[in-house]
Amino acid sequence: MHPLLSLSAFWLLALASSLGEDSPPGCVPRRYVPYHRDNSVLFHKEGVFNYSTLLLREDLGLLILGAREAVFALDIMDISMEMASVDWKVSEEQVRDCQNKGKDPETECKNYIRILHKMNNGKIYVCGTNAFDPECDYLSYTDGKLTFEGTAEDGKGKCPFDPFQRYASIMVDDSLYSATSMNFLGSEPVLMRSSPGSIRTEFKTSWLNEPNFVSMAQMSESWQSKDGDDDKVYLFFSETAVEYDCYSKLAVSRVARVCKGDLGGQRTLQKKWTSFLKTRIHCPVLDSHLPFLIQDSYRWCDSQNWEDCIFYAIFTPQADTSDLSAVCAYRVSDISKVFKEGKYKSPVIVATSFVKWVMYSGEVPHPRPGACINDEARKDDIHRTLDLPDWTLQFIKDRPLMEQSIEPIRDQPVLIRKGAPFTRIVVDEVQAADGEKHHVMFIGTEQGTLLRAVNFDGEMFIIEEVELFKTPEPITILKLSNVTGHLYAGSNCGAAQIPRATCERSLSCRDCVLARDPYCGWDTTEGKCVALSSSQRKLIQSVKEGDASLCPAADPVQPMSRHIWPGDTLKLSCLSSSNLAEIIWERDNRTLEPAAPLQRLRDGLLIRNASRRDAGLYRCLSVERTKAHEYKTTVAQYQVSIGSEDGKKTVIFPPQPQTKGPSVAALQAVLVLLAVALLALLAWNFYRGHLPLPWNCVKRSGEQPQQPHDHETLNSSVAYQNAQRSAEDKPLVSSAQHNSGSNNNHTTDGGAQETNAPKANLPTMQFIDDESEI
């Protein structure tokens, strides 16, 4: 058996037990693969931690990995091979200054690489926390070496001060868009573009209120635009809501956007965004009372048409009352429509000091506040945001929040899972054997596992969950390369490289088809599960229905012989390849019900205090149900035999099931012969005097006992009665050779006291204590 399959089968059962029966649908992965060195290619440098920044340089064949005080260039096909590295450490003076500000010198007062972006000239823009004093520089890879240019730039507003604070950044045409904090205390959150000309958000709670930044994405909405629209940059984050009247702070998820060509206002909103708009993004999870908070997002696009793009986002609860995580999908066109046509929220002062946010129903200025410069604005001789009237700018300054919230596709999540919280997500599109395309979600968790999941027309299905690291660490970064076909994950303890498809884990056709993996199909010619992209032949696959009826008949499972002595314990192992299957045990083709001495385990069956009735042919069945059918698969068979009770090595094999047995008449004839033989045996014993005749016993019981004339007569009578009493429990044989056999007569008082009784000689009888001498 393949080692990975055996390990996964053992641990997936343990995972199933940790998930309650009230778990939401689709939350249990079909296969759970525990940590194994073959699960992924790992990279770790001794003494280096926090591998949380990744940059794919497919043009150089490199994976640029940012960690604490170091940057590595790894072979993109095998990240265990280090091509180059460079250190970026802080000085002792910087550590002292950081420590004097109340920070931990061993953890916080280090340089954590937080930004790695490719420039148009091929160089890499890199920023680090630099002991709570952010700094940026340029990095180049030439002649197999990584080299800093040494042109240090101030990193405030680009890179976070705190290495453990959430942030987001993106590089668009050599312009860095970043969302972080502007000061040491982290009390001035900002969405900023560094060049050309620095421009940022206002320091107002109506703009950003205690935010946790998540991710950023750029959309080319100007391409073939009918109204001459501009490109957009979208920001996903969560923040404390200002629009809800609550006794305590309530956090909500947000999506905001700005226009690429925004230059700020002429008088109002100078060097501030004139196009900053935000709204709530909603992900309904069952009956949750508090909104779930966004943790990461991924932009998926199939073509240059931005309206077909989808944002996939993961959400986790903001309270400890739930251990659910969810994935929701949103159309970019729906988000753009809310910002372009939606209503605004406006603050209203109530009871002298309290501010309530309500939908704005007054007149909206022209050009529309927050809109990008388009053909309609150009007709009014407004070609830049600097030309916008103050009325429009003041309106958006006071009202950056929209009324409508963004709802997911089909108004429901594409995946809900109970267990370790989700941390990161990437999405890939793959074409199945039937020609239909499916979106496969790769999701990282706080336990260092990677999920591969699909939503088949509303049906949530997790193909597998794989442990990437030996020590459970949250996955902090996740990247997908369409060039290499691999995923790259980072955590505090190291980085991992994982293939998109793991078809080789399925060792049978039925297991391959029931896995419902769009990447994989069963090759009948080669007799194995292979990736669709690596085979030109027609493969057996059924991702929507899970129909394995087209699979050829599997080879029968040969029974394994197991022997056990009476009173001992025997374990019969049964490792199913599917976590969605039900395990059923049979003995001699009859279903076994859980009852002593049989005990069902997660990975087998336990026979306790074995006896002869426990012998037989045991079969373990895996029953898995899909939309198409119910499939029973024999996982293991055991022929169990029980040894004899006398302790000798005499093996008693259990009777085997027979299809053709003797008739009822033949069984009756056998019983008649046995009865005749028993009667003959009794008659012979009566004739020989070995057994007294019944009427003699009745006559003797009716006589009055006579006084014995001497001790010999008394002894003979006592011995005869004892011998007759003992004959009821022990076998009696005749022996002419034993003329002096003796037997001790014992009487007990409370089962502990022995008396001296007279002895009698029985020349024709012998008591057998050892049954083996019969």
CB atoms within 10 A of CB 25: 9
Domain end position, chosen among 616, 637, 652: 652
Residues 655-684, mean pLDDT to the nearest whole number: 67
Q: How far apart are CA 485 and CA 497, in angstroms?
A: 10
Please tell me whether residues 595 and 637 are part of one structural domain.
yes
Please tell me whether residues 547 and 566 are part of one structural domain.
no
Structure-token pair, residue 439? 């979106």
Please tell me whether residues 544 and 568 are part of one structural domain.
no
Residue 512 falls within a domain, yes or no? yes
pLDDT, tens digit, 9 for 90 and up, residues 322-370: 889 999 999 999 999 999 999 999 999 887 667 889 999 999 999 999 9
What CATH number is attached to the domain comprising 605?
2.60.40.10
Q: How far apart are CA 602 and CA 569, in angstroms?
A: 17
Which one, of 475, 496, 472, lies nearest residue 486 by Cα? 496
Residues 183-212, mean pLDDT to the nearest whole number: 94
pLDDT over 70, % of the chain: 82
634 pLDDT band, cuts 50/70/90, is very high
Beta bridge partners of 631: 624
Residues 445-472, mean pLDDT to the nearest whole number: 95
CA angle 126, 131, 136 (to 5 degrees): 20
Which one, of 36, 43, 95, 39, lies nearest residue 69 by Cα? 95
Q: Give the DSSP letter string of 575-593.
A: --S-TTPEEEEEETTEEPP
Q: How far apart are CA 294 and CA 457, in angstroms?
A: 24
Q: Is the peptide bond before 692 cis (omega within 30 degrees of 0)?
A: no
* Whole-number average pLDDT of the chain: 84
Please tell me whether residues 546 and 585 are part of one structural domain.
no
Question: Mapping DSSP to helix (H, G, I), strand (E, B) and coil, where does residue 40 land?
Answer: coil
More confident residue, 340 or 703: 340
- DSSP designation for 702: H
Which one, of 311, 184, 359, 166, lies nearest residue 251 by Cα? 166
Report residue 435: phi and psi, to 5°: 90, -10
The Cα diameter of the chain in Å comes to 149
Query: What is the Cα Rg of the chain in Å?
Result: 41
Beta bridge partners of 406: 281
Please tell me whether residues 426 and 463 are part of one structural domain.
yes
Please tell me whether residues 524 and 584 are part of one structural domain.
no
Beta bridge partners of 401: 278
Report CA-CA distances (Å) from 392 to 232, 367, 413.
19, 7, 37
CB 657 within 8 A of CB 645: no
Please tell me whether residues 546 and 593 are part of one structural domain.
no
Which residues, at least 6 apart from 701, have a Cβ–Cβ distance to it below 8 Å? none
Please tell me whether residues 588 and 635 are part of one structural domain.
yes
Please tell me whether residues 542 and 624 are part of one structural domain.
no
Q: Give the DSSP letter string of 394-411.
A: HHHHH--BBSSPBPPGGG
Kindly give the pairing relationship between strand 41-43 and strand 495-499: antiparallel
Structure-token pair, residue 609? 């205090």
Which residues, at least 6 apart from 83, have a Cβ–Cβ distance to it below 8 Å? 62, 73, 74, 75, 144
What is the domain count for the chain? 3
First to last CA, the chain: 49
Residue 4: predicted pLDDT: 39
Residues 460-488, mean pLDDT to the nearest whole number: 96
Residues 473-484, mean pLDDT to the nearest whole number: 96
Location of structure tokens 């009578």 = 717
Q: How far apart are CA 453 and CA 463, in angstroms?
A: 6
Residue 694: predicted pLDDT: 53
pLDDT, tens digit, 9 for 90 and up, residues 416-435: 999 999 999 999 999 999 99
Residues 646-671, mean pLDDT to the nearest whole number: 52
What's the domain range around 606? Answer: 560-652
Question: Mapping DSSP to helix (H, G, I), strand (E, B) and coil, where does residue 570 land?
Answer: strand
pLDDT, tens digit, 9 for 90 and up, residues 63-109: 999 999 999 999 999 999 999 999 999 999 999 999 999 999 999 99
Which one, of 89, 92, 46, 95, lies nearest residue 71 by Cα? 89
Q: Which of 502-511, 579-588, 749-758 has the lowest mean pLDDT?
A: 749-758
CB 488 within 8 A of CB 56: yes
Domain end position, chosen among 554, 584, 611: 554
Q: Is the pLDDT of residue 745 over 70?
A: no
Residue 331 falls within a domain, yes or no? no
pLDDT over 90, % of the chain: 68
Residue 211 falls within a domain, yes or no? no
Beta bridge partners of 62: 57, 75
Q: How far apart are CA 452 and CA 489, in angstroms?
A: 14
More confident residue, 760 or 67: 67
CB 634 within 8 A of CB 552: no
Report CA-CA distances (Å) from 82 to 14, 45, 47, 49, 75.
37, 10, 16, 16, 7
What CATH number is attached to the domain comprising 463?
3.30.1680.10
Please tell me whether residues 431 and 549 are part of one structural domain.
yes
Which one, of 762, 755, 757, 690, lies nearest residue 720 by Cα? 762
Domain end position, chosen among 554, 575, 603: 554
Residue 770 falls within a domain, yes or no? yes
Structure-token pair, residue 177? 């868009």
Please tell me whether residues 633 and 736 are part of one structural domain.
no
Residue 446 falls within a domain, yes or no? yes
Please tell me whether residues 599 and 501 are part of one structural domain.
no
Kindly give the pairing relationship between strand 560-564 and strand 630-643: parallel
Location of structure tokens 């995923």 = 487
Location of structure tokens 């958006």 = 396
Residue 690 falls within a domain, yes or no? no
pLDDT, tens digit, 9 for 90 and up, residues 110-159: 999 999 999 999 999 999 999 999 999 999 999 999 999 998 999 999 99
**For residue 671, what is the enclosing H or E element?**
helix 664-688
| Helix/strand/coil percentages in the chain, nearest 5 | 15, 35, 50
CA angle 390, 392, 394 (to 5 degrees): 65
Strands (E), 609-652: 616-625, 630-643, 651-652
Residue 691: predicted pLDDT: 65
**Signed CA dihedral, 9, 13, 18, 19: sign only:** positive
Residues 190-204, mean pLDDT to the nearest whole number: 93
Residue 158 falls within a domain, yes or no? no
Residue 61 falls within a domain, yes or no? no
Q: How far apart are CA 115 and CA 155, in angstroms?
A: 10
Which one, of 205, 207, 235, lies nearest residue 219 by Cα? 235
Q: How far apart are CA 449 and CA 460, in angstroms?
A: 18
Residues in the chain: 774
pLDDT, tens digit, 9 for 90 and up, residues 234-288: 999 999 999 987 777 899 999 999 999 999 999 999 999 999 999 999 999 987 8
**Signed CA dihedral, 264, 268, 272, 275: sign only:** negative
Q: How far apart are CA 539 and CA 521, in angstroms?
A: 5
- DSSP designation for 181: E
Centroid of chain to Cα 710: 92
